[in-house]
Amino acid sequence: MKENPRNIPVVESLRAGILSRDGFMGEDTRPFTDIILDDAAALAALGTNAVELAQKMTNLTKLGQDTPGITVTHKGYAITVEEYMGKIGCPFRDHRAPKRNTTVVGPKGQEMSWTDLNVHLIRAHGFFQGQGAPYRLEPNELVEFLKDA
């Protein structure tokens, strides 16, 4: 299917080397719009949505934000936030996120990490990134991980 001309700037920004070294698509060959639709369907089947997940991620990040590099605990989650200088632009061209990584170890010892840009992409665009992208978060895994957060 031919790409919608309005999406061309986004498609370009999602590629490796434009906004980030590795890009946002990994080896996924689907149009980003299909990725968003597929992930939204997976979330709906699990009884949640991207905004709810992004809010839980934001809440956990905020808990560790005041003490960067120091692990804090909340409801069995161990949260460590690392901050870096600068900001990174959203490939959808509507936001610049601080360069901040949040690493969380869950109550069962499982670990997940995300950036502020991940949270924005999920909340504002329902975009979890393409398969194989270094910062892709699998929606079903994220739902399970955050169920008690």
pLDDT, residue 5, reads 59
| Inter-residue contact 60 to 77 (CB < 8 Å) | yes
Please count the other Cβ atoms lying within 10 Å of the Cβ belonging to residue 77: 19
DSSP 8-state class, residue 112: E
pLDDT, residue 2, reads 52
- What is the DSSP secondary-structure string of 18-68? TSSSS-S-TT--S-HHHHHHHHHHHHHHTT--HHHHHHHHHHHHHHHHTST
| Inter-residue contact 63 to 53 (CB < 8 Å) | no
What are the extents of the domains in the chain? 5-146
Q: What is the pLDDT of residues 9-47, one digit of tens each?
A: 888 889 887 788 899 999 999 999 999 999 999 999 999
Q: What is the pLDDT of residues 51-92, one digit of tens each?
A: 999 999 999 999 999 999 999 999 999 999 999 999 999 999
Indicate the Cα dihedral angle 64, 67, 70, 71, nearest 10°.
Answer: -20
Residues 102-121 have a mean pLDDT of 97
Average predicted confidence (pLDDT) for the chain = 94
What share of the chain has pLDDT > 90, as a percent? 85
Single out the residue of 113, 46, 36, 40 nearest to residue 81, CA to CA: 113
